[in-house]
Structure 1
Amino acid sequence: MRMKPLVKFQIAILLVLIALVVWRARVSPVTFDGVVAVSRIDDGSLIERHFRVEGGAVKTIVSATGAYETDERNAKPAAYLWILDRESGDVVWSMLGGEVKREKVFMNVSDTTWLEPGTYTALYTALGPTSSSVGGGSFLGLKPHWTNDTAPLGFSIAVASDSEGRISVIDGARASVDRKDGLLWDASDLENRDRKTFMFRAEDDVELSVRAQLEICDGECDAARIERLSDGRAVWTLTAADAAPAGGGRSNFRYSGDVDLAPGVYRAVAQTDAGHSLGRWRFNPPHNPYFWGMTLELGSGTVETIDPWGDREPVISLLRVGDDENRRARIEVSDTVVAFVAGMGEVWSSGSRYDYGWLERESSGERIWEMT
């Protein structure tokens, strides 16, 4: 009995599919050997290997295979290695910064670099340049894409014979995240949907050193700012125009600079959205993935930290207000004063208010401040 043409076509397609599956399954990973080495890195991974250089400088031999997103000439890097100095937060070596041998989607690097005594982390990202890159391959991998074959991805760091020192690997569980001492405020560990604030009073003219690293995009991403409490005006805001690319995805930005403040009361704010953040990167992270947020360091002048709920005994206190309760308190002043008001209630962005407070002038009933 003869087979129908349609059945023949279906069998041919099935054989092709089986051949593709067998071919993909037979691809063997490349083995990388060294003091620090990782072979076969899966897409969607961020690999961290911590190590310490001791006893003098070390000449390292670095071999790595990474990948571009596709085989197009202008394709963005999707998987690659770099080495971070944990004390300074600076990149001391990157496979994107040297001579790269390209083979279709793959990039191969073999290089040497000297490392001084200190603590380092080798980071290999395979998260892709965008949030859709990991799942962006074509059906059965018929079109060139970096996720079609991750078997060659990996790296090794070996010590050359003419090195003075040695490399000792640090257990990942014992590798601490470095924090700088002497900061006025540290909010550099923001996670998803995180928000931290810091209130302070500049007693005289103040210069602050501001450092920030967050995601900036056209829509609503992350934010960092310093605002004057008296009128809510932002005196400094993190913008892409003033920041520099932080490495990784194109929306990763970093800022480092000084901000001058006149005497007054201020609030620093750093916040993240529900996407790209510390420990939950949706695409390639910044070169220093251990800093996500904002820090303040006092350059000159005098600053007093303000804790509205615990610093001093308030002149007026209306706390623990119950359901359907209206509470009042009266204060009399004989001269112009600057009042610091801290309140917590239920106020919606739509303008609806259910639990809120206000200050009013008793003689006229004019509201001179209210929660909005």
Structure 2
Amino acid sequence: MRKQGLTKVQLFLLFGAVGLVMWRMSNRTGGVEGLVVISDMSDGHVYRTGMRVENDTDIVINMTGSFETDAERALIATYGWIVNADDRSLVWIANRSQYVRDGVLGVVTDSIHITAGSYDVFYTTEGPTANSRSNAPFLGLKPFWTNDASQWSLSIAQPTGADIDNPDVFHADYHGFSPESEDLLWTTGIVGNRDASTHLFRVSAQAEVSIYAIGEICSRECDFGYIENVQNGTTVWMMNWENTMPAGGAETNRIFQGTITLDPGIYRAGFQSNGSHSGKSWRANPPHDPDGWGMTLSNVPRANIVSYDPWTQTTPFIDMTGIGDDELHKKQFKVNKKSTFLISAMGEITSQSSVYDYGWLERNDSHETIWKMSYRNSNIAGGDSKNRVETVFLELEPGTYTVYYQTDNSHSFEAFNSNRSKPDNPERWGLAVFPVSVNDSNEDDYTVLESSWGEEDQMDDTVSELFSGRESTVLIDFTRIGNDSQISETFEIERAIKVFVTATGELSTGSRQDYGWIEDAETGERVWEMTAKNTKHAGGRRDNRIFEGLVRLPEGRYIARYVSDFSHAYGDFGEDGPDDESLWGMRIVRNDR
């Protein structure tokens, strides 16, 4: 009997809760009247419409919104506002003292004088904080802002006594943020989550640039814009808490609207966002100009500032583009005096550790990797998301450098996986190097070298010491070898000599996964090979092994071979790679005495 009594109590509570919910759902206001109306809303949205004012006039604004709770100091959760459609300035928003509160609900009646023009009208139901909507009480049994969606509205009308047959205010299409003036240099458009947009421009004489940027400034600079001088790497402007103002809505919404002065140079403007709260996916109330989320550069004197596109305005002095499957290309150049260069590379990268088609730059005398294409520093190139493009500016000291580009066995300019997977500029698949100068480039600053290797060319310190002062030639260069590779190349020795071999791979006692060897081309006999005994630890995982030493070869023809298995190779090490990942593979250097 006790159990049956409990069940009746539970049923009574359940029916009561359901009835309360149904009452709240049916407790709707009558039709909202006005010349411009926003109503019939639900939580988690930003509503917008347009308004056209033919003549200067007065308007009456009636709005019903909600505070987060019925507490006296509760945050305002839902509300509306008006902005000028042309200059995006805030025309009207209610302040806290104007609300007449009834628990959670707040009602505002206001009148303003408004000039002829176009306006955008907004209403937000996203909530005051990122977690506000998720804090709603069970079944709406406590006062909370999400319970009162049926009451929310905003209406605009002309005052009593106005000529209703000839109104000055009309409903219109939403205008939105659309900078299209003649002095516009660049705009990101509406920026979404995990997005990055950049633009290069050249300043030939000192000039001022107007910046309009709206983003989210938090402990990690969540969504922000910046301008950097790419020739010296200095950041000349960046959004931060100190140089921005509240943009409306959530506390972290910030706006910069001002002018900066730029000296002659080449600059990169950029805007990047994190994974939440953006112009395409709000997690709390948006700024007063939601569509302005991003960055716009304008008021540009066209005589002094122009967009910079190396592909159309300059000619690369190294062009390794249109690259197909299973190819490795390299070019050497000499920098005669300290200069800045631009590298544009397009390839296939799916994550920070999964790099398939990519480029890199090395300084020959120190064997240092100056730059390597990466997922983190590249952007989507169009088509498939694995198509990535990276533009980097490098200030190089005098010396000799080698630039490389390597592809795997699929998805390249030769044959992309499908037409839909092609990047926007498929002919640029590969790498190109451009000279950079504010004015005309000086070709005397650099020299493109032939493919032979000289004393300044890429060698590690041991080779440099052994062959100091003598010309040397790289016979075999199998480096940066990826997964599932089988590479071979024939070379010839005219007389008995010692060659210097550097080889890095994956070996352990009793097994070899990634390794190289040299065999006699006539007999197939192995004259040298990597083993666990003749190699040493290369850093990282224990089975990362490296051989560095001299190998004597009699006169004859030889085949160098290197194989790798399906895992743990260049581009797929994770955090277990050797000290110098670029050496994964094998290199053979000959000394020409």
**Fold match by TM threshold 0.5:** yes
Give the letter for the 1:293 counterpart.
G
Contact 2:186 2:199 survives alignment (8 Å):
yes
Aligned to 2:502: none
Aligned to 1:147: 146
SS in 2 for 1:327: strand
CA distances 1:130-152 after superposition (whole Å, capped 9, x unpaired): 23323321012122101112221
Q: Find the aligned partners of 1:127 and 1:220 in 2 and give their Cα distance.
A: 22
1:39 is the counterpart of 2:42? no
Q: CA RMSD in A?
A: 3.0
Contact 1:226 1:269 survives alignment (8 Å):
yes
Instruction: Spell out the pairing of 1:112-191 with structure 2 (5 A cutoff).
Output: 112-160=111-159, 161-162=161-162, 166-172=168-174, 175=175, 177-181=177-181, 182-191=183-192
Query: Alpha-carbon deviation of 1:30?
Result: 4.2
Q: Find the aligned partners of 2:39 and 2:328 in 1 and give their Cα distance.
A: 67
Contact 1:58 1:166 survives alignment (8 Å):
yes
SS in 1 for 2:292: coil
CA distances 1:55-97 after superposition (whole Å, capped 9, x unpaired): x212111111001111112211111011111011011111236
Aligned to 2:307: 305
Query: How many correspondences in the alignment?
Result: 367
CA distances 1:282-307 after superposition (whole Å, capped 9, x unpaired): 22111011211111225568224211
Q: 1:162 to 1:229 in 2, by over 3 A?
A: same
SS in 2 for 1:6: helix
Q: Find the aligned partners of 2:116 and 2:124 in 1 and give their Cα distance.
A: 25
Query: Alpha-carbon deviation of 1:12?
Result: 3.5
Candidates 349, 353, 357, aligned match of 2:360: 357
SS in 2 for 1:188: coil
Q: Find the aligned partners of 1:310 and 1:250 in 2 and give their Cα distance.
A: 43
1:69 is the counterpart of 2:68? yes
SS in 1 for 2:16: helix
Q: Find the aligned partners of 2:342 and 2:82 in 1 and give their Cα distance.
A: 47
Q: 1:279 to 1:4 in 2, by over 3 A?
A: closer
CA distances 1:229-253 after superposition (whole Å, capped 9, x unpaired): 2343322111122111110111211
Q: 1:201 to 1:140 in 2, by over 3 A?
A: same
Contact 1:30 1:40 survives alignment (8 Å):
no
Candidates 311, 318, 321, aligned match of 2:320: 318
Aligned to 1:342: 344
Q: 1:98 to 1:123 in 2, by over 3 A?
A: farther
Query: Alpha-carbon deviation of 1:353?
Result: 9.0
Query: Alpha-carbon deviation of 1:273?
Result: 2.4
Query: Alpha-carbon deviation of 1:315?
Result: 1.8
CA distances 1:316-353 after superposition (whole Å, capped 9, x unpaired): 21213344433233446766654333334567757989
Q: 1:59 to 1:262 in 2, by over 3 A?
A: same
Aligned to 2:268: 267
Contact 1:29 1:40 survives alignment (8 Å):
no
Q: 1:15 to 1:198 in 2, by over 3 A?
A: closer
Q: Find the aligned partners of 1:7 and 1:304 in 2 and give their Cα distance.
A: 77
Q: Find the aligned partners of 2:212 and 2:243 in 1 and give their Cα distance.
A: 12
Contact 1:57 1:165 survives alignment (8 Å):
no
Q: 1:336 to 1:280 in 2, by over 3 A?
A: closer
Query: Alpha-carbon deviation of 1:367?
Result: 5.6
SS in 1 for 2:321: coil
Candidates 323, 328, 331, aligned match of 2:330: 328
Aligned to 1:244: 245
Contact 2:360 2:369 survives alignment (8 Å):
no
Contact 2:184 2:300 survives alignment (8 Å):
no
SS in 1 for 2:327: coil
Q: Which has the higher strand share?
A: 2
Instruction: Give the TM-score normalised by the residue count of structure 2.
Output: 0.56
Which moved further from structure 2: 328-337 or 270-279? 328-337
Q: Find the aligned partners of 2:137 and 2:15 in 1 and give their Cα distance.
A: 19
Query: Alpha-carbon deviation of 1:254?
Result: 0.5
Give the structure, 1 or 2, with the largest relative contact order (CA under 8 Å, sep 6 or more).
1
Give the letter for the 2:186 counterpart.
W
Contact 2:57 2:115 survives alignment (8 Å):
yes
Instruction: Spell out the pairing of 1:91-110 with structure 2 (5 A cutoff).
Output: 91-96=90-95, 99-110=98-109
Larger radius of gyration: 2
Give the letter for the 1:236 counterpart.
W
Give the letter for the 2:14 counterpart.
L
Task: List runs of 5+ in structure 1 lacking aligned partners.
Answer: none
Off by >6 Å, runs of 4+ in structure 1: 350-354
Q: Find the aligned partners of 2:3 and 2:332 in 1 and give their Cα distance.
A: 97
Aligned to 2:196: 195
CA distances 1:197-253 after superposition (whole Å, capped 9, x unpaired): 111222233332222101222246213111222343322111122111110111211
Give the letter for the 1:187 counterpart.
T
Q: 1:116 to 1:243 in 2, by over 3 A?
A: same
Query: Alpha-carbon deviation of 1:266?
Result: 1.7
CA distances 1:342-372 after superposition (whole Å, capped 9, x unpaired): 33456775798972232646xx466694336
Task: List runs of 5+ in structure 2 lacking aligned partners.
Answer: 374-593
Contact 1:83 1:92 survives alignment (8 Å):
yes
Query: Alpha-carbon deviation of 1:34?
Result: 0.8
Q: Find the aligned partners of 2:220 and 2:366 in 1 and give their Cα distance.
A: 41
Which moved further from structure 2: 111-120 or 225-234? 225-234
Give the letter for the 2:288 counterpart.
H
SS in 2 for 1:207: strand
Aligned to 1:29: 29
Contact 1:35 1:167 survives alignment (8 Å):
yes
Aligned to 2:86: 87
Contact 1:30 1:153 survives alignment (8 Å):
no
Which moved further from structure 2: 316-325 or 329-338? 329-338
Q: Find the aligned partners of 1:206 and 1:104 in 2 and give their Cα distance.
A: 55
Q: Find the aligned partners of 2:299 and 2:372 in 1 and give their Cα distance.
A: 31
Query: Alpha-carbon deviation of 1:270?
Result: 0.8
Give the letter for the 1:356 counterpart.
G
Q: 1:351 to 1:367 in 2, by over 3 A?
A: farther
Instruction: Give the TM-score normalised by the residue count of structure 1.
Output: 0.87
Which moved further from structure 2: 293-302 or 207-216? 293-302
Contact 1:64 1:95 survives alignment (8 Å):
no
Contact 1:357 1:370 survives alignment (8 Å):
yes
